Amino acid sequence: MSTPYINSSFLTGFSQLIISKGGNPAELYEQAGLDKEVFLEENLQSREIKNLLIPFDKFVDLLEITSQQLKFPDVAMTLARQQNMMILAPLRSQLMDCKNVLQAVQVIVKYLKILVSSYQVEIQIEKHLSRISFFVESETIKNLVQYQDYAMASAVSILHGMLGSSFPLRSCYFLRNETDPERIAEYARYFGCPVAFNSHELALTAESSLLERDVTPLINEIDSQVNLALSSANTDLVANVSRMISLSLPNGNSSISDVAASMNYSQRTLQRKLSDRNTSYRALLDSVRFSMANQYLKSTYYRLTDIALLLGYSNLSSFSRAYFRFAGIYPMEVRKRINYTL
């Protein structure tokens, strides 16, 4: 896929944040070219979980529009700070095999490249100081304030999950310029370190010794978030398994054993719990794929071959046959009908 994408789960909490600032999230979604029916908070948290991949430029546009219209320049950093580690739950079994934070960061970087295509993270390790740099292919995106803020703040949020909120950064570097002393001071307070603007790259530095620490705190945080979701009175097991499937599909870790591990269950336990609810893992996998496929088919910026890969199929033919078995119609015909009504 040539277009950069980002998983829509990164928008969790956005609607509530905007409402708290007196804004209308539905209007902002529409202005950014996103389907409000998909991305409003009540739909993101509904039984029919929609962890879709959306164009990264529309995600950044949404943050830019919000910043300007609501006079809310910190929207990206605020959104990144309030997001939890559930997004990393599909990696639980891989992270448990990591001996230290460095190995965990490498696993997460590989995963983020799937969740945010055309996005690069480079790690340079030296004896005393390590540097993590962020790159995106689009020249337009990389110069935007909200992209830079979100990239840096989300990275720090993940590092907090691994190292605790008090871990020390040595420095942060932004591509864009900033001359307002008050804003510069606000950034320094947010990141807890000196911040430089008009730099040649988007990057942060930290003590190399931090990368040698144990990764257990991150595993504990993921387990805490998963357990909280499983115990919530407002959710149920079927909804949580569906959400985990949708998160796992793009990186190919959507087998029942992978999803069970991400939820801290054995495969047999998950099978039994689903059977008690008169369903099965295969039924949920097919249902999630069908639901996500219908959302992708509504948007002309997804090619059919892209949709097949996003849903974990090896090729377009496999996707087409599976969709036909579920709906009695091929996805190409659905796309033609949608285009005809536009």
At residue 168, does pLDDT exceed 60?
Answer: yes
Identify whether residues 198 and 254 lie together within a single domain: no
The domain tally of the chain equals 2
Q: How far apart are CA 252 and CA 309, in angstroms?
A: 9
In a domain, 329, yes or no: yes
Domain closes at, from 179, 212, 245: 212
CATH of the domain at 257: 1.10.10.60
In a domain, 104, yes or no: yes
Identify whether residues 256 and 297 lie together within a single domain: yes
**Which range has the top average pLDDT, 48-57, 248-257, 307-316?**
307-316
CB within 8 Å of 70: residues ≥ 6 apart = 18, 21, 22, 23
Identify whether residues 67 and 166 lie together within a single domain: yes
CB within 8 Å of 241: residues ≥ 6 apart = 259, 263, 270, 274, 281, 284
At residue 180, does pLDDT exceed 70?
Answer: yes
Domain closes at, from 212, 228, 258: 212
Bridge partners of residue 132, in order along the sequence? 123, 204
At residue 233, does pLDDT exceed 70?
Answer: no
CB-neighbour burial class of residue 307 (10 A; exposed 0-12, middle 13-18, buried 19+):
buried
Query: Phi and psi (nearest 5°) for 50?
Result: -125, 75
Identify whether residues 97 and 204 lie together within a single domain: yes
Give the residue, 115 or 176, on which the prediction is more confident.
176
* pLDDT over 90, % of the chain: 44
CATH of the domain at 137: 3.90.1520
Element (H, E) at 60: helix 56-69
In a domain, 65, yes or no: yes
Sheet architecture: strand order including 195-196: 119-125, 129-136, 202-207, 169-173, 195-196
Amino acid (1-letter code) at residue 66: T
Question: Degrees (nearest 5) of the Cα angle 68, 174, 191?
Answer: 85
In a domain, 221, yes or no: no
Global model pTM greater than 0.85: no
Structural domain boundaries enclosing 205: 5-212
In a domain, 249, yes or no: yes
Identify whether residues 11 and 63 lie together within a single domain: yes
Identify whether residues 117 and 9 lie together within a single domain: yes
Dihedral sign, CA of 124, 125, 131, 134? positive
At residue 37, does pLDDT exceed 70?
Answer: no
In a domain, 195, yes or no: yes
Identify whether residues 9 and 150 lie together within a single domain: yes
In a domain, 97, yes or no: yes
Q: How far apart are CA 318 and CA 184, in angstroms?
A: 52
Identify whether residues 190 and 96 lie together within a single domain: yes
Q: How far apart are CA 273 and CA 94, in angstroms?
A: 24
At residue 156, does pLDDT exceed 50?
Answer: yes
Residue 1 · residue 306 · CB < 8 Å:
yes
Domain closes at, from 212, 245, 261: 212
Residue 310 · residue 317 · CB < 8 Å:
no
Identify whether residues 162 and 17 lie together within a single domain: yes
Closest CA to 64 of 230, 53, 56: 56
Chain mean position to CA 56: 11
Identify whether residues 79 and 131 lie together within a single domain: yes
Identify whether residues 167 and 34 lie together within a single domain: yes
Identify whether residues 104 and 142 lie together within a single domain: yes
